[in-house]
Amino acid sequence: MHTARPRRRAAGRLRSTLLAAALSLFGSVAVVATTAAPAFACHGMAFANEVKGAAGYTVEVTTIFAGANGITVSANPGTVTISGTSWETGQPPLIATVTGLTPGQASILTVNANLLPSGTACTTYSGSALEAAAAAPALGAATRTADGFTFAITNFNATRYSYAITATNDAQATVDEDGLVTVTGLAAGGSATVTVTATANEGSGYTGTASASRTGRALGGDPEPPAAPAKPTVVAGDSAAKITWVAPATNGAAITGYVVTASPGGATCTAKGNETSCVIAGLSNGTPYTFKVLARSAAGDSAASPASDPRTPAPTTNKDLSIDRPTVEPGGTVTLVAEGYRAGTRVDFYLHSDPVFLGSAVANASGVATLTADLPQGVTGGHTARAIGTGLNGLPLSQDIAVTITASGSGGGDGLPKTGDRLPFGMIGLAAGLLLAGLALLFVARQRNSATNRP
């Protein structure tokens, strides 16, 4: 008996030694039953060959044991999928795919599994998305000042980038915490080119540097055309769109107006120098349009703005445009009735194709605007009357109706002959002359007949 106990103690010490060696090898904590194999907690899976992507990463998943089943995965942050729920030695690795990350962002992948022949595993792995190349600074239009100019870095991000500013012609340039670049030290009318260089901060998920330049001029000297307006915003309605923009730098001469052009088709609208929106009407519903704005001053036209995002007009219901006289003489009077407009809003009426403003009316409580107007003199042929305003849904609404202007005396208007009309004096004289000539010929003929019939 006394001999057996030391042997059992020796066997126990041997098992403990082997277990300690295994723990030393795998770095895990083991829970041991009397007859069961070790169960490794939070370890036991293996990872290899991470491949970084723009929004996440993939990694091969196996186990250091004979196999595993019941495999599940989670990721923080991001989302994750895995190519299978079981794996055994000799099979191709499973692939875990983590997505939903920003450039350079790290994510912890956790894999839970049942180990073969027994035990469990919950192993973690840290991977990250690919860092992105630094983006070039986006620079706004320059605004002239007495001794220089200012402009904004519109995509300014001090968390992601460090910025360096340089300027030509001995000008001084600084950037504030909001990304506004201020250039000073220029003489009146003097110019400088400023270069903005953005360098990605460590750990930002971006790498490298990128730069952009802006040339500006101080006030004074000869005025220049306005700066190009920024990208406009657009609200599309029924056959129309309202375009809105921000006034650009004047560059020494007051802005006198704006022209907005639609694409496709080239339809335009204009605005005064103190206005920053206008409506283009007569658009085709269902067709996507983009719009560009240019500014005008005594110094010339600006470059066109960047194109707006595409917008598509769409038809509405509960609308109508009617005319009391679809055929009318030049200068004739017509009454136009436009329905479907927001109560209390102004509706403008035009005659196209060359737009002639006919007048405005305010929509009543029922959304009806009525205008009685004289058509222009000297205009004939087929034309279009157009009503432009704000529809019941608050969006732009344009409606057209055909009108034919006939030449005077060609049956236009009500189609009835006019009473009291006088023939031109020349025609009266001609008629009188012809009548007298006829009478003279008749008199001569009778005289000849009389001479012939005498005995």
pLDDT at 249: 87
Return the higher-pLDDT residue of 433 and 449: 433
Distance CA 201, CA 207 (A): 7
Q: What ranges make up the beta strands (E) of 26-185?
A: 29-31, 39-41, 45-53, 56-63, 67-76, 79-82, 87-88, 94-99, 106-116, 120-128, 132-133, 143-145, 148-152, 161-167, 172-175, 180-184
- Residue owning tokens 């704000």: 390
Q: Which are the contacts of 66, defined by CB distance < 8 A and separation ≥ 6?
A: 88, 89, 115, 116, 117
Binned at pLDDT 50, 70 and 90, residue 386 comes out as very high
293 and 330 co-located in one domain: no
Which of 8-12, 248-252, 374-378 has the highest mean predicted lDDT (pLDDT)? 374-378
CA-nearest of 295, 347, 292 to 319 is 347
Domain boundary (405, 423, 438) is at 405
In this predicted structure, the answer to whether residue 41 has a pLDDT above a threshold of 70 is: no
149 and 124 co-located in one domain: no
| Contact (CB, 8 A) for 373 and 338 | no
| Contact (CB, 8 A) for 251 and 225 | yes
185 and 156 co-located in one domain: yes
In this predicted structure, the answer to whether residue 273 has a pLDDT above a threshold of 80 is: yes
- Residue owning tokens 């006289």: 325
Q: Tell me what the mean pLDDT of segment 215-221 comes to.
A: 88
385 and 366 co-located in one domain: yes
Asked, for residue 420, whether it belongs to a domain, the answer is: no
Bridge partners, 131 (sequence order): none
Give the CATH number of the domain where residue 256 resides.
2.60.40.10
For 336-371, the pLDDT digits (tens) are 999 999 999 999 999 998 889 999 999 999 999 999
Distance CA 237, CA 434 (A): 66
Asked, for residue 36, whether it belongs to a domain, the answer is: no
Round the average pLDDT of the chain to a whole number and report it: 85
Binned at pLDDT 50, 70 and 90, residue 12 comes out as very low
285 and 250 co-located in one domain: yes
pLDDT at 197: 98
Q: Which long-range contacts does 244-250 make (Cβ < 8 Å, 24+ apart)?
A: 244/276, 244/277, 245/276, 245/277, 245/293, 245/305, 246/276, 247/276, 247/295, 248/141, 248/295, 248/302, 249/141, 249/142, 249/143, 249/144, 250/226, 250/297
In this predicted structure, the answer to whether residue 404 has a pLDDT above a threshold of 50 is: yes
In this predicted structure, the answer to whether residue 435 has a pLDDT above a threshold of 90 is: no
First-last CA distance in the chain: 195
Return the higher-pLDDT residue of 40 and 293: 293
Distance CA 26, CA 44 (A): 8
CA-nearest of 74, 246, 204, 221 to 149 is 221
| Contact (CB, 8 A) for 297 and 254 | yes
For 95-117, the pLDDT digits (tens) are 999 999 999 999 999 999 999 98
Asked, for residue 198, whether it belongs to a domain, the answer is: yes
Distance CA 157, CA 382 (A): 58
Whole-angstrom CA distances from 120 to 94, 117, 401 are: 18, 10, 79
Q: What token pair was written down for 61? A: 């998943």
Asked, for residue 412, whether it belongs to a domain, the answer is: no
Asked, for residue 439, whether it belongs to a domain, the answer is: no
Asked, for residue 30, whether it belongs to a domain, the answer is: no
Per the document, the length of the chain is 455
Give the CATH number of the domain where residue 140 resides.
2.60.40
96 and 140 co-located in one domain: no
Range of the domain at 210: 133-217
Return the higher-pLDDT residue of 453 and 25: 453
Asked, for residue 417, whether it belongs to a domain, the answer is: no
In this predicted structure, the answer to whether residue 415 has a pLDDT above a threshold of 70 is: no
Binned at pLDDT 50, 70 and 90, residue 203 comes out as confident
Domain boundary (83, 110, 128) is at 128
Distance CA 245, CA 258 (A): 10
Binned at pLDDT 50, 70 and 90, residue 446 comes out as low
pLDDT at 13: 46
Distance CA 238, CA 253 (A): 37
153 and 210 co-located in one domain: yes
Asked, for residue 268, whether it belongs to a domain, the answer is: yes
Structurally, how many domains does the chain consist of? 4
3-state class (DSSP) for residue 273: coil
151 and 204 co-located in one domain: yes
142 and 212 co-located in one domain: yes
Whole-angstrom CA distances from 269 to 107, 243, 286, 355 are: 52, 9, 20, 11
274 and 327 co-located in one domain: no
Q: Tell me what the mean pLDDT of segment 304-333 comes to.
A: 96
105 and 139 co-located in one domain: no
Give the CATH number of the domain where residue 328 resides.
2.60.40.730
Give the CATH number of the domain where residue 61 resides.
2.60.40.1230
Return the higher-pLDDT residue of 31 and 307: 307
pLDDT at 441: 56
CB atoms < 10 A from the CB of 183, how many? Answer: 28
Domain boundary (405, 429, 444) is at 405
pLDDT at 428: 46
60 and 82 co-located in one domain: yes
CA atoms within 13 A on the CB side of 12: 8
In this predicted structure, the answer to whether residue 253 has a pLDDT above a threshold of 50 is: yes
For 294-303, the pLDDT digits (tens) are 999 999 999 9
- Stretch (H or E) spanning 427: helix 425-453
